[in-house]
Amino acid sequence: MNKQYVVGIDIGGTNTVFGIVDARGNVLAKSAVKTATHQDINLYVNEIYEEFIKLVEDFGGIESIKGIGVGAPNGNYYTGNIEFAPNLIWKGLIPLSKLISEKFGVPTALTNDANAATIGEMAYGAARGMKNFILITLGTGVGSGIVIDGKLVYGHDGFAGELGHTCSVRNNGRQCGCGRTGCLETYTSANGVARTAREFLETRKDDSLLRNIPLESISSKDVYEAAVQDDKLALEIFEFTGKILGEALSDFVAFSAPEAIILFGGLAKAGDFILNPVVKHMEKNMLVLWKNKVKLLFSELKEADAAILGASALAWEL
C-alpha cells in the first residue's frame, strides 16, 4: 500500500495532541489525551495507540502511515529519548521513540518541541524554500530552532539551539527555572511579559488599565488588551520586551547569518506591539554587514494545528 500519510504527536505538560497529516500539510484528523494520566509510560503509549487506531481506520489503516514524528520537552533527536524533562510526569530517561515505534509498528522520530516547530515551518510555513533561518518560540518559555544550509542544528548531543537560555541581562538578572539568572526566557516569554507588568506596577505610579487586575493574576494577554486601548504603561512593557529581544536577535544574526527570523507562539499574536520594537532594536544593534538584510516574520502555521504539523514534518524524513 502507498504510505501517503504521517502522524504528528505533540506532548505538552497537560495534554498530548496528535493527528494524521498528508503531504500538503493538511491535518486530516486529530485527537488528544491527557499527558499526566499515567505514571507508567507504557500505559500512556497504549492510550495514544488506542485513540489513534480509531482515527486511522478512515485512512486505510496503519499500513498507510509512513512514519511518526514526536515533539516533546527535552526530546533528543539523536537518542529518541526524553531526557529529564522537568514539566513532565515521567522522570529520567524515557525511550519514547522506541516505545512508540514498537507499539505502532511504524518508524518514529523524536525531537524537542521548538525544533519540531522549526521543521514544520520549513516544510509547511513561512520558511518554505529557506535554507538559513532561526525560529524563536515565544510561549510560556522561549525556545528556538536554528537551520543552517538546510539542516537543523542539533550539536554533538542533540540539544543545540537553546537561545532562550542565553543571558540577555547579566547584572541582577531575573532568576530562571533553569537555575541561571538573566535568561532571555525570563523577559521575552509570555510569563516574562507578565513579570515585567508586575514589576512596573509595583515600582511606578502611572495610571493604567492593568491596575484593575489583581497583580498576581496579570497575564501577557491582559497587557496586550491594555495596549490595544492605547494604555501607556502596556505599550512601555512591549517596548521594554522588544528592546531585550531585538538586542538578542542581533547577536543571533552574527552567529548564523540567517535569511529570516520567524516568531512563533502565543506572544507573537501581539503583532506590531511586539514586532515594531523588536525590529527597531534589532536593527539599532545589528552589525553593519546585516543591517536591513534579515527579515523578521511571523509563523504561517495555522495555530490550531501548528504543534501537530511541526511534529509530523519529522516523519517525512524517515
Strand partners, 93: 83
Beta-carbon count within 10 A of 73 CB? 19
What does the pLDDT look like over 41-55, one tens digit per residue?
A: 999 999 999 999 999
| pTM for the structure as a whole | 0.91
Average pLDDT over residues 4-31: 94
Helix, strand, coil in percent for the chain, rounding step 5: 45, 20, 35
C-alpha separations of 221 from 7, 140, 192, 227, 268 in Å: 32, 12, 12, 10, 11
Mean pLDDT of the chain: 94
C-alpha closest to that of 146 among 255, 48, 230, 52: 255
Q: From CA 217, how far away is CA 226, in angstroms rounded?
A: 14
Mean pLDDT of 140-145: 92
Q: What is the pLDDT of residues 78-87, one digit of tens each?
A: 999 999 887 7
- Nearest by Cα to 83 from 159, 13, 156: 159
Q: Furthest-apart CA pair in the chain: how many Å?
A: 68
pLDDT at 67 over 80: yes
Least confident of 172-181, 195-204, 229-238: 172-181
Distance CA 9, CA 207 (A): 45
The pLDDT, as a whole number, for residue 304 is 77
pLDDT at 204: 93
Q: For 258-267, write each residue's pLDDT tens digit.
A: 999 999 999 9
Is the model's pLDDT at 303 over the cut of 80?
A: no
Q: Mind listing the domains of the chain with CATH numbers? A: 5-120+304-315 (3.30.420.40), 129-299 (3.30.420.40)
Q: What percent of the chain has pLDDT over 90?
A: 86
C-alpha cell at 131: 535554507
pLDDT tens by residue, 199-215: 999 999 999 999 999 99
Return the amino acid letter for 227: A
Match 510569563 to its residue by C-alpha cell: 191
DSSP label at residue 3: -
Provide the pLDDT for residue 290: 97
What share of the chain in percent tops pLDDT 70?
100
Position 308: which residue type? Answer: I
Burial of 253 (0-12, 13-18, 19+ CB in 10 A): buried
Contact call for residues 307 and 117 (beta carbons, < 8 A): yes
Please check the confidence at residue 1 and state whether its pLDDT lies above 70. Answer: no
What is d(CA 304, CA 126) in angstroms, rounded to the nearest whole number? Answer: 16
Higher per-residue pLDDT: 172 or 304: 172
pLDDT of residue 164: 94
| Residue 266 near residue 233, CB atoms below 8 Å | no
Residue 119 has pLDDT above 90, yes or no: yes
The 10s digit of each residue's pLDDT in 256-295 is 999 999 999 999 999 999 999 999 999 999 999 999 999 9
Predicted local confidence at residue 79, as pLDDT: 97
**Interatomic CA distance for residues 175 and 141, integer angstroms:** 13
User: Cell 512591549 maps to which residue?
Assistant: 238
